[in-house]
Amino acid sequence: MNGRPISGASVDARGRAATGHGGRRGRTGLSALILGAVLVTATACGGSGGSGSGGEDKGSGKTESKQSQAVVTIAPKNGADAVNTSGALEVTAAKGKLTEVEVKDAKGREIAGAITGGGATWTPSTHLAAATTYKVHAVAKDAAGLTSTAESSFTTLTPKNTFVGHYTPENGSTVGVGMPVSIRFTRGITHPEAVEKAITVKTEPAVEVRGHWFGNDRLDFRPKEYWKPGTKVTVKLDLDGVEGRPDVYGEQNKTVRFTIGRNQVSTVDAKTHKMVVRQDGKVVKTIPITTGKPGYDTWNGQMVISERLTVTRMNGETVGYGGEYDIKDVPHAMRLTESGTFIHGNYWGGGTFGNVNSSHGCIGLRDVKGGYSSSVPAAWFFNHSITGDVVIVKNSHDKTVAPGNGLNGWNMSWEEWTK
């Protein structure tokens, strides 16, 4: 042996050839080295093996990612607090076009909005709720079709001063064909457009319904003509977060539903001292009545029953008539105006019904003290009436009742109502 290693064998530290099992391990190790070299060569020739839309640098064996040129900007910035409920939220795209914008609160309720300007801008179509956290997810695409996304979260302001709307009629009620939707606000409204936009009135079957303001604290809605019997009305008060006046925000989110009952319209003729009651256009009853005496004449015009009281007290001092009368047990009373006009039972009128006008402006029907009898005209009319029924007075010597005096907007033409 000349000291050189035997082919296929390993060499120990002294230069001696290893034999036996040691020789077999040596052959295996050499094979591994050769295989490793082959793999390294293959990897260097084949590139990185990565995937995606990125490009490849063939000189260096490295991959470059292709990034979208579109830039999405969300206002307000991420983490913003005390954000205004209107006018603050906007999503824009530069060097590309918005393709998707989603804004949701913590309960998953989505805010509607629209992409405009050819994909440049998204804005909400409604106000945001107060004291609410919203998350925004937006996607834009550049000219090459590559997408860019952005996300943000912010919280709206918590108002110090708030208002609500008290509504008529009540949820779940059945009312007459003259009943408007009437909403009275607890604070005077100086931003009426914002408040009116947050209230929707939908009907089944569909009919156009428009709103009209009486002063700055009352908004009524009605169709052009009396409601059709059977109409189902849904009112949504989405007032939470609406700025009704500077730094005063709505705090109400309410849905009200009611149904229109049969059509009952009663016509009082102050000259003939009679009232004709019609249901669905047919006469069902003619009742002798008394109206306001000279100097206290009853209003003319269309009046809507807004309240029904089995018995009530009527005191002349409450309507500017001093101590002329104070009747503690007026039976079967139904309110027609806020100024104090009622159609009610009268047990003290004697033979005035059908003959002479003797009241202080109300419409009186014969009744008995205590209102216990169901056979008297006042009881019959009370039992066959519901809130929202219409009472029309004609041939009185007074002027037409003001549209805002009670639920009496029917005394305005449609042109006046909608202008």
Catalytic residues: 344, 362
Give the span between the Cα atoms of 117 and 173, in whole angstroms.
46
The two tokens of residue 143 are 């000219």
d(CA 57, CA 50): 12
Report the b/e string of 101-117 with b at 16+ CB within 10 A. Answer: bebeeeeeeebebebee
Find, among 104, 103, 105, the residue nearest to 114 by Cα: 103
Strands across the sheet containing 121-124 = 71-75, 90-94, 121-124, 113-116
In order of 41, 206, 345, 354, 410, the CA distances from 396 in angstroms are 110, 37, 20, 15, 18
CA distance 232 to 362: 32
d(CA 172, CA 261) in angstroms, rounded, equals 12
Q: Which residue has the tokens 């539903």?
A: 257
CA distances from 328 to 282, 293, 345 (A): 36, 21, 13
3-class secondary-structure state, position 44: helix
Q: Measured between alpha carbons, how far is 239 from 249 in angstroms, rounded to an integer?
A: 8
C-beta of residue 249 within 8 angstroms of C-beta of residue 243: yes
